[in-house]
Protein backbone atom coordinates (compact mmCIF):
# COMPACT_ATOMS: atom_id res chain seq x y z
CA UNK A 1 0.00 0.00 0.00
CA UNK A 2 1.32 3.47 -0.84
CA UNK A 3 1.80 5.78 2.08
CA UNK A 4 -0.67 8.55 2.91
CA UNK A 5 1.88 11.08 1.65
CA UNK A 6 2.33 9.24 -1.65
CA UNK A 7 -1.42 9.33 -2.17
CA UNK A 8 -1.48 13.03 -1.33
CA UNK A 9 1.32 13.95 -3.73
CA UNK A 10 -0.27 11.84 -6.47
CA UNK A 11 -3.36 14.06 -6.25
CA UNK A 12 -1.50 17.35 -6.66
CA UNK A 13 -2.04 19.19 -9.98
CA UNK A 14 1.63 18.69 -10.88
CA UNK A 15 1.06 14.93 -10.87
CA UNK A 16 -1.52 15.40 -13.63
CA UNK A 17 0.41 17.95 -15.65
CA UNK A 18 1.13 17.15 -19.29
CA UNK A 19 3.56 20.05 -19.77
CA UNK A 20 6.70 17.98 -19.26
CA UNK A 21 5.51 15.45 -21.87
CA UNK A 22 4.50 18.14 -24.36
CA UNK A 23 7.80 19.99 -24.05
CA UNK A 24 9.68 16.70 -24.52
CA UNK A 25 7.80 15.87 -27.72
CA UNK A 26 8.55 19.32 -29.11
CA UNK A 27 12.23 18.37 -28.94
CA UNK A 28 11.90 14.69 -29.82
CA UNK A 29 9.01 13.99 -32.23
CA UNK A 30 8.01 10.34 -32.43
CA UNK A 31 6.67 8.33 -35.38
CA UNK A 32 2.87 8.05 -35.57
CA UNK A 33 2.72 4.34 -34.85
CA UNK A 34 5.40 4.34 -32.17
CA UNK A 35 5.59 1.80 -29.36
CA UNK A 36 6.11 3.93 -26.25
CA UNK A 37 6.95 2.96 -22.67
CA UNK A 38 6.38 5.17 -19.66
CA UNK A 39 8.16 4.16 -16.45
CA UNK A 40 6.18 5.31 -13.41
CA UNK A 41 2.46 5.02 -14.09
CA UNK A 42 1.25 6.78 -10.95
CA UNK A 43 -2.43 7.59 -11.44
CA UNK A 44 -2.09 7.03 -15.18
CA UNK A 45 -2.55 10.62 -16.35
CA UNK A 46 0.77 10.72 -18.24
CA UNK A 47 0.05 7.54 -20.19
CA UNK A 48 -3.50 8.67 -20.91
CA UNK A 49 -2.26 12.02 -22.23
CA UNK A 50 0.32 10.29 -24.43
CA UNK A 51 -2.41 8.05 -25.87
CA UNK A 52 -4.38 11.16 -26.87
CA UNK A 53 -1.36 13.13 -28.11
CA UNK A 54 -0.06 10.15 -30.14
CA UNK A 55 -3.33 8.55 -31.30
CA UNK A 56 -1.65 5.99 -33.59
CA UNK A 57 0.87 4.90 -30.97
CA UNK A 58 0.60 2.14 -28.41
CA UNK A 59 1.49 3.30 -24.91
CA UNK A 60 2.70 0.96 -22.19
CA UNK A 61 3.11 2.17 -18.62
CA UNK A 62 4.80 0.25 -15.84
CA UNK A 63 4.90 0.75 -12.11
CA UNK A 64 6.03 -1.39 -9.21
CA UNK A 65 2.56 -0.89 -7.70
CA UNK A 66 -0.79 -0.06 -9.29
CA UNK A 67 -2.37 1.12 -6.04
CA UNK A 68 -2.45 4.76 -7.19
CA UNK A 69 -3.86 4.00 -10.65
CA UNK A 70 -7.30 5.53 -11.26
CA UNK A 71 -8.44 4.15 -14.64
CA UNK A 72 -11.98 5.48 -14.19
CA UNK A 73 -10.62 9.05 -14.19
CA UNK A 74 -8.58 8.73 -17.35
CA UNK A 75 -9.45 10.23 -20.71
CA UNK A 76 -7.64 7.99 -23.17
CA UNK A 77 -6.99 8.01 -26.89
CA UNK A 78 -8.14 5.48 -29.51
CA UNK A 79 -5.51 3.01 -28.30
CA UNK A 80 -5.86 2.90 -24.49
CA UNK A 81 -2.61 2.56 -22.54
CA UNK A 82 -1.59 -0.87 -21.34
CA UNK A 83 -0.67 -0.77 -17.64
CA UNK A 84 1.84 -3.36 -16.42
CA UNK A 85 2.90 -4.00 -12.85
CA UNK A 86 6.66 -4.43 -13.01
CA UNK A 87 9.86 -3.06 -11.55
CA UNK A 88 11.93 -0.56 -13.52
CA UNK A 89 14.91 -2.82 -12.83
CA UNK A 90 13.20 -5.78 -14.54
CA UNK A 91 10.87 -4.49 -17.24
CA UNK A 92 8.36 -7.08 -18.40
CA UNK A 93 8.85 -6.24 -22.08
CA UNK A 94 10.70 -7.80 -24.99
CA UNK A 95 14.13 -6.56 -25.98
CA UNK A 96 14.28 -4.01 -28.82
CA UNK A 97 10.49 -3.51 -28.72
CA UNK A 98 10.10 0.20 -27.87
CA UNK A 99 10.61 3.34 -29.96
CA UNK A 100 10.73 5.58 -26.88
CA UNK A 101 10.94 5.35 -23.11
CA UNK A 102 9.66 8.20 -20.92
CA UNK A 103 10.87 8.83 -17.36
CA UNK A 104 9.01 11.91 -16.10
CA UNK A 105 9.70 12.88 -12.47
CA UNK A 106 10.45 9.23 -11.75
CA UNK A 107 14.12 8.45 -12.16
CA UNK A 108 15.17 10.33 -9.01
CA UNK A 109 13.47 7.77 -6.74
CA UNK A 110 14.22 4.51 -8.54
CA UNK A 111 16.52 1.86 -7.04
CA UNK A 112 19.61 0.66 -8.90
CA UNK A 113 19.78 3.53 -11.41
CA UNK A 114 22.41 1.83 -13.56
CA UNK A 115 20.27 -1.29 -13.80
CA UNK A 116 17.27 0.86 -14.78
CA UNK A 117 19.28 2.48 -17.58
CA UNK A 118 20.42 -0.95 -18.76
CA UNK A 119 16.80 -2.09 -18.92
CA UNK A 120 15.85 1.07 -20.83
CA UNK A 121 18.63 0.36 -23.33
CA UNK A 122 17.54 -3.28 -23.60
CA UNK A 123 13.90 -2.55 -24.49
CA UNK A 124 14.72 0.28 -26.91
CA UNK A 125 14.99 -0.51 -30.58
CA UNK A 126 18.10 0.72 -32.42
CA UNK A 127 17.41 4.40 -33.00
CA UNK A 128 14.92 4.48 -30.12
CA UNK A 129 15.05 7.35 -27.67
CA UNK A 130 15.15 7.90 -23.93
CA UNK A 131 13.18 10.96 -22.77
CA UNK A 132 13.78 11.95 -19.15
CA UNK A 133 12.41 14.96 -17.26
CA UNK A 134 13.43 15.54 -13.66
CA UNK A 135 14.89 17.90 -11.08
CA UNK A 136 18.36 19.18 -11.98
CA UNK A 137 20.80 18.09 -9.28
CA UNK A 138 22.82 21.28 -9.78
CA UNK A 139 19.89 23.53 -8.80
CA UNK A 140 19.47 24.95 -5.30
CA UNK A 141 16.10 23.14 -5.18
CA UNK A 142 17.98 19.83 -4.92
CA UNK A 143 18.37 20.10 -1.12
CA UNK A 144 14.73 20.94 -0.22
CA UNK A 145 13.42 18.50 -2.83
CA UNK A 146 15.47 15.59 -1.52
CA UNK A 147 14.65 16.46 2.09
CA UNK A 148 10.88 16.34 1.50
CA UNK A 149 11.16 13.16 -0.57
CA UNK A 150 13.33 11.45 2.07
CA UNK A 151 10.88 12.37 4.82
CA UNK A 152 7.63 11.50 3.06
CA UNK A 153 8.19 9.58 -0.18
CA UNK A 154 11.43 7.62 -0.56
CA UNK A 155 14.83 7.43 1.08
CA UNK A 156 16.22 6.57 -2.36
CA UNK A 157 15.54 9.98 -3.87
CA UNK A 158 18.54 11.60 -5.52
CA UNK A 159 18.36 14.57 -7.90
CA UNK A 160 20.87 13.72 -10.62
CA UNK A 161 23.12 16.25 -12.30
CA UNK A 162 23.46 16.25 -16.11
CA UNK A 163 26.97 14.81 -15.74
CA UNK A 164 25.68 11.94 -13.59
CA UNK A 165 22.95 11.18 -16.11
CA UNK A 166 25.42 11.36 -18.99
CA UNK A 167 27.60 8.78 -17.25
CA UNK A 168 24.68 6.42 -16.56
CA UNK A 169 23.46 6.75 -20.14
CA UNK A 170 26.90 6.07 -21.60
CA UNK A 171 27.47 3.03 -19.39
CA UNK A 172 24.15 1.61 -20.63
CA UNK A 173 25.29 1.96 -24.23
CA UNK A 174 23.13 4.93 -25.23
CA UNK A 175 24.57 7.97 -26.98
CA UNK A 176 23.62 11.37 -28.43
CA UNK A 177 22.96 12.61 -24.87
CA UNK A 178 21.76 16.20 -24.50
CA UNK A 179 19.96 18.34 -21.94
CA UNK A 180 17.48 21.11 -22.72
CA UNK A 181 15.49 23.57 -20.63
CA UNK A 182 12.45 25.73 -21.25
CA UNK A 183 13.20 29.00 -23.06
CA UNK A 184 13.14 31.80 -20.55
CA UNK A 185 13.39 29.32 -17.67
CA UNK A 186 16.97 28.20 -18.12
CA UNK A 187 17.60 28.79 -14.42
CA UNK A 188 14.61 26.66 -13.40
CA UNK A 189 14.92 23.41 -11.49
CA UNK A 190 13.53 21.17 -14.26
CA UNK A 191 15.65 19.67 -17.01
CA UNK A 192 14.87 17.42 -19.96
CA UNK A 193 17.47 14.86 -21.02
CA UNK A 194 17.50 12.89 -24.26
CA UNK A 195 19.58 9.96 -25.46
CA UNK A 196 19.39 7.46 -28.29
CA UNK A 197 20.17 3.78 -28.77
CA UNK A 198 22.80 3.54 -31.52
CA UNK A 199 21.87 2.04 -34.86
CA UNK A 200 24.25 -0.77 -35.72
CA UNK A 201 26.12 -0.12 -38.94
CA UNK A 202 26.88 -3.00 -41.29
What was the pLDDT predicted at 68? 87
E strand map for 40-157: 58-63, 82-85, 98-104, 124-135
Q: Where are the domains of the chain?
A: 4-196
CB neighbours of 72 closer than 8 A, spacing ≥ 6? none
pTM above 0.85, yes or no: yes
Return the minimum-mean-pLDDT range out of 11-15, 19-23, 101-105, 111-115.
11-15
pLDDT of 38 > 80? The answer is yes
What was the pLDDT predicted at 13? 41
Q: Which CATH number, 2.60.40.420, 3.40.50.720, 3.40.50.150, 3.40.30.10, labels domain 4-196?
A: 3.40.50.150
Amino acid sequence: MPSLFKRFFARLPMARSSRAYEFALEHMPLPEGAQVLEIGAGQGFGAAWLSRRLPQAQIYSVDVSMDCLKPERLEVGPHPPVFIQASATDLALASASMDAVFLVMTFHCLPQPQRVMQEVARVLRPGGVLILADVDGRHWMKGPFELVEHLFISKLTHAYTPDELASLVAQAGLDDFRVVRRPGKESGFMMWAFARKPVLRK
